[in-house]
Amino acid sequence: MKCVEVNEDGYNGPSVILACSSDRELMLFFPISKENAKLISYVMDKNSEYDINTNILGIYKTMLDSWKSQDKFLSGVIMDSVYAPELKDDVLLVRLVISDNNGELDSLANVNFFNAVILASMEGLDIVICDNLLDKMIPDDDENDDEEEIVKQKRKQPHFPEDKKIVDIAKKIMSGKTKDT
């Protein structure tokens, strides 16, 4: 989705919105600079035209064209988190998936978030967010924990009342003994 201005506790500025393709109500907001937000919004506008001569976008257009000239193409973007020992914390890991004409994986290229969003927007590609990163980004909600606990308890309960006589009859049928002797 296009970039929006966010005015929330702890952050005031533009953000890129990544909306879930299967559930449009799930959205992730990534803070970004105003200049980068304008560029991303420009690329996402269906009426925008850009070519090699378009200032900054020319670099990205050249990159895509050079892959195509080698019979390769950008087939996806994957976002995950990885532990950085020097920072003693998890950091964002963004990779471009480059494939050949047969659809086989050619390479994975590490890039920054902005480059990935621009290239994905230019090619009309979805960005895949791995579960590991998604788990870290979705805030802990005590209400959800309570709801999950209720669901777990319901799963433990039998769905139907157990009738001992029915169970005995089923066991006899399964053993081949259908008549009492």
Residue 57 in domain: yes
Question: How far is 55 from 61, CA to CA, in rounded Å?
Answer: 10
Is 146 among the domain residues?
A: yes
Distance CA 47, CA 34 (A): 21
* pLDDT tens for each residue of 4-35: 888 887 788 888 888 888 877 788 888 889 88
Please give the share of the chain, as a percent, with pLDDT higher than 90.
Answer: 27
Q: Provide the token pair at 146.
A: 């309570």
Number of structural domains in the chain:
1
Q: Which domain holds residue 85?
A: 4-175
- CATH code at position 132: 3.10.690.10
Q: 24-28: long-range contacts (C-beta < 8 A, 24 or more apart)?
A: 27/1, 28/129, 28/137
* Residue 181 falls inside a structural domain: no
Residue 12 lies in a domain: yes
Tokens, residue 164? 């001992």
- For residue 99, is it within any domain? yes
The answer, as to whether pTM is greater than 0.85, is no
Tokens of residue 74, six digits = 């950008």
Within 10 A of 118 (CB to CB), how many other CB atoms are there? 22
Answer yes or no: is 140 within a domain.
yes
